[in-house]
Structure formats: C-alpha cells, structure tokens
Amino acid sequence: MRAADYRSVADAIAADIAAGRLRPGARLPPQRDFAYARGIAVSTASRVYAELARRGLVTGEVGRGTYVRSDPGQVGLLRPEPPAAALDLQRTHSRLPEQEAVLSETLAALARSGAEIGFSQYGPAGTPRAQAVAAGFLAREGYAPDPADILFTGNGRQALAAALAALAAPGERIGCEPLTYPGVKGIAARLGITLIPLAMDAEGVCPEALLQAHRATPLSGVYLQPTLHNPLGATMGPARRAALAEVLDRTGLIAIEDAVYSFLAEAPPLAGLVPHRVIFVDSLSKRVMPALTVGLIAAPPALTDRLAASVRQGAWTVLGLSLAAGMHWMAGGSAAALAEAKRHDAAARQALARAALADLRVVGDPQAYHLWLELPETWRAEAYAAAALRQGIALLPASAFAVHPGHAPNAVRLALASPSRADLDGALRSLRRLAFAGDDQVVE
C-alpha cells in the first residue's frame, strides 16, 4: 500500500463516525485485527489510528483500546458547551443566591460613583490603585506580591494565554501535568506550543520528572495547578512545593501557577517560595461570577514588562467596567464573603456526591467543586459520557484532560457547582445507576 493510502482508510472510518455508523464510545478493533480485516500492514493500521487521533476522532485508553470520542474533532480545542437541555456537570461555575444581590449592589455603587468607567480604557497594569487593591487581595501568609508587578486581563483564561505566550514561542515546550485543564490544551494548540506531560502522584507533579524532562530537551517553562488540581483535586503539601521550588531555582525555569481554585482551600502558594520564578495567575470568575470578571497576574519583576507586552499583543486587556467591579469586590469584601460561602457550598456538594455515588471509586478533595469518577470495567469513559448525555447529563471524559489523547484513564470528571443541589443529587444517582448497568445493558 502506498504511504498516502492510510489517509484513505482513515477517511473511510471518519465517514462512518460522521454518519453515525460508529457511535461515540464505540471500540475500534486492535490494530492487528484491523490490519487483517482490511488487508493492510500492521504498520499502516498504526498510521490510520494515529491519523484518526490527530483529527480528534478517537482516543486511546491505556491497556483498553481505541474508542470513538464523545466529542469528535475536539483535540487541542476547547470543549463544546453542554447542550442547553442537558444538566451541566461540565463547568465549575457556581451560582449562589448571594451573587445576584452582589451584582445589583455593585452596579448601583458604580453608577453612584460617577466614574466614567464605561469609557475608560486601561493598559495591562490598570491603575496604581487597582494594583494596590489586587496585591492586597492576593496576599496571604508567606506571600505578598508587589503592586507594581500586578497585571490585569479580561479573565483567567486570558491571563494563562498571556503567560504561556510570554514564556514560549511557537514550537517550544511547556511542561504540565499529564491530565490538565482543557483550556490550557486549547490555548497551547492555538499558540503552537507543545505541552509535555510530567509524571505526577497524589500530590501533583513529581520534581524529579520536571528535572528529567528539562534535561532531556529544555523546556521553556512549566504550567502547574498546585492547589485543587483540575481534574484530580490534588493539592501539594509543603514539602512538595519546596522541592519544586528548588528545581525551579536550580534550572532557572519559570512556572505558571494556576490558582483559580485556591480560594476553596488554604494552601501556601508556590509563588511565596520563589516569587522570582513563578507567574501567579488567579481570577474572579470562580470566586465571584463569570459574567463580569477580571484575570489577575502577579509577575516576577524581571518578567513584568514581557507579560504586559503579551497582554497587549493578545488584546487581553481588562475592560474598564470589569476592573472597576473587581476593585469594588476585592476592596469592599464581597469577593471574600462569596468565597467563604462557596467553600461551605463546595463541601456540602462533595458530601452529597459521595453519598450519591456510594460503592463507586471517586477521587478528589472534599473542598473542591469537582470530582473524579473512576468507572467500572464494564464501561469505557467515552461510551459512558455519551450514554450520560443521552440521559440529559453533560460531563467530561478523561480524554478532555489528557495531554496525550492516547493516554486517557477510564474515568470522567463531574463538575458539582452549577445545578441546584436537588438536581445534582438526582443526576448523580442516575449516573450511579448507569455505572452499575454497564454499557451492554443500557437501553436506548
């Protein structure tokens, strides 16, 4: 078979997927069996499967085979929004009754102030007062960023994009957890940055794995979620943070510390140990609300100008109204009060989830707004996600988080924040019944 012909075979499989002849979650034959059935070489079959994975049509589960994705075509891109009719267990945005009152009070206060916030346009540094307010808000025991090194973006995702673009040029490498925030996967793909998965354990990335990866082929930086890792919920202890700080100092690497979930758990930031080696990123979307939010960057002094240029070049500068609202929340106590309420809400939802999913293996921190559900052997993650969606429940399979699409564990992430607690309880109990039913027992 000519080298180009493997694409024709891949086209035929892609057509079967598009037509519904191969449904989400369907298992493809082992490559040797596929090759025999098609009359092609095993090496050609391997190229077919690689091409299908490259197109985002299939995903591999370690030791279990290759499956049609529940969201074909989404490799390297942000996941699609859940269908409007589905109960949303994909997104981790919480909505408490207090938020409505906070929004109304904020808009009224800004209107009374007479400030021309709607007509204001700021650079990445906002204003000196905004920098001072944000620096005080981000400060905690062992960490006090300099106001002069605070930058603002439209949201946390934009802050991450600016940090990645400042550290790595197209074609360069950034280390990260092997299961990571899907938004970072999409951002890296758009920027032409290669993500390099680093071995992790129950506390997060292993320092030796970071050191070995950098020695093998130099990295341009590393992206980490030290507190309430998404999707696994892991939080690094003090010894692990100290060991990673030592590696950063030894190698000269810069880490991007994603702290957007840190308001739910008390943990000293990595940036407090090596502020000159860490770009600290936070936002108000999870703490307060996503509709009117601000992304926050506390930059190492030597990188502040480079990061500011990245924010400007990406057109990621915060809007005046959002900055004014963010300052009002941070300085006036609304952000802190909502964070406290959400800590109680997240803990209650975790307790509810663990009761509803009794007898199933769940992984995660009881303070987080998300939970990792490891599936029984009777299911594969893509098939389970597709079956759940047919029952009106939207969730994310492990492949959404896997840096290498062929190395996704047999698990799904459940976001607990969005539905009412009553709806959440009903959905989780439906998911438990579905898990025990098994793929071959589900009636369409």
Do 143 and 168 belong to one domain?
A: yes
Do 166 and 279 belong to one domain?
A: yes
How many domains does one find in the chain?
3
How much is the average pLDDT of 256-270?
Answer: 95
114: left (phi over 0), alpha (psi -120 to 50) or beta: left
Do 270 and 353 belong to one domain?
A: no
CATH number of the structural domain spanning residue 42: 1.10.10.10
Strands, E assignment, 182-254: 194-197, 200-201, 204-205, 221-224
CATH number of the structural domain spanning residue 429: 3.90.1150.10
Which of 316, 331, 346 terminates a domain? The answer is: 331
Q: Is 425 inside a domain boundary?
A: yes
Q: Is 100 inside a domain boundary?
A: no
Which of 331, 361, 396 terminates a domain? The answer is: 331
**Would the pLDDT of 181 be above 70?**
yes
Q: What pTM was computed for the model?
A: 0.85
> Mind listing the pLDDT tens digit for each residue in 90-127?
999 998 988 988 989 998 888 887 655 555 678 999 99
Which pLDDT band holds residue 266 (cuts at 50, 70, 90)?
confident
Mean pLDDT of the chain: 90
**Would the pLDDT of 72 be above 80?**
no
* Residue 411 CA: distances (Å) to CA of 18, 61, 109, 419: 25, 10, 46, 21
> Mind listing the pLDDT tens digit for each residue in 215-261?
999 999 999 999 999 999 999 999 999 999 999 999 999 999 999 99
Do 134 and 151 belong to one domain?
A: yes
Which pLDDT band holds residue 15 (cuts at 50, 70, 90)?
confident
Do 63 and 178 belong to one domain?
A: no
Do 162 and 299 belong to one domain?
A: yes
Looking at residue 435, its pLDDT comes to 96
Q: Is 281 inside a domain boundary?
A: yes
| CA-based nearest residue to 255, from 266, 236, 125, 265 | 236
Task: Judge whether 379 and 439 are in contact, CB under 8 Å.
Answer: yes
Q: Is 73 inside a domain boundary?
A: no
DSSP 398: G
Do 158 and 275 belong to one domain?
A: yes
| CA-based nearest residue to 63, from 20, 117, 27, 108 | 27
**Cα–Cα distance measured from residue 206 to residue 198, given in angstroms and rounded to the nearest whole number:** 7
Q: Is 81 inside a domain boundary?
A: no
DSSP 379: -
**Cα–Cα distance measured from residue 415 to residue 443, given in angstroms and rounded to the nearest whole number:** 26
Do 131 and 240 belong to one domain?
A: yes
**Cα–Cα distance measured from residue 26 to residue 66, given in angstroms and rounded to the nearest whole number:** 8
Supply 254's token pair.
């810069």
Do 351 and 293 belong to one domain?
A: no
**244-250: Cβ within 8 A, 24+ apart:** 244/205, 244/207, 244/210, 244/270, 245/270, 245/273, 245/274, 245/277, 246/207, 247/207, 247/210, 247/211, 248/222, 248/274, 248/277, 248/278, 249/274, 249/277, 250/211
Q: Do the strands 173-176 and 221-224 form a parallel or antiparallel pair, or are they unpaired?
A: parallel
**Would the pLDDT of 55 be above 90?**
no
Do 280 and 372 belong to one domain?
A: no
Torsion angles phi and psi, residue 106, rounded to 5: -65, -50
DSSP per residue over 399-423, as a string?
GGTBSSTT-B-SEEEEE-SSS-HHH
Angle of helix 334-356 relative to helix 421-437, nearest 10 degrees, comes to: 30
Residues, the chain: 444
Supply 175's token pair.
């280390």
- Parent domain of 38: 6-68
Angle of helix 31-38 relative to helix 42-54, nearest 10 degrees, comes to: 110
CATH number of the structural domain spanning residue 138: 3.40.640.10
> Mind listing the pLDDT tens digit for each residue in 279-335?
999 999 999 998 889 999 999 999 999 999 999 999 999 998 899 999 999 999 999
Q: Is 410 inside a domain boundary?
A: yes
**Cα–Cα distance measured from residue 18 to residue 399, given in angstroms and rounded to the nearest whole number:** 19
Task: Judge whether 269 and 226 are in contact, CB under 8 Å.
Answer: yes
> Regarding predicted confidence, which is higher, 363 or 60?
363
Q: Is 111 inside a domain boundary?
A: no
Q: Is 222 inside a domain boundary?
A: yes
**Would the pLDDT of 439 be above 80?**
no
Do 299 and 408 belong to one domain?
A: no
**Which secondary-structure segment (H or E) carries 28?**
strand 27-28
> Regarding predicted confidence, which is higher, 47 or 435?
435
**Cα–Cα distance measured from residue 50 to residue 396, given in angstroms and rounded to the nearest whole number:** 22
Do 297 and 420 belong to one domain?
A: no
Burial class (CB in 10 A: 0-12, 13-18, 19+), 77: middle
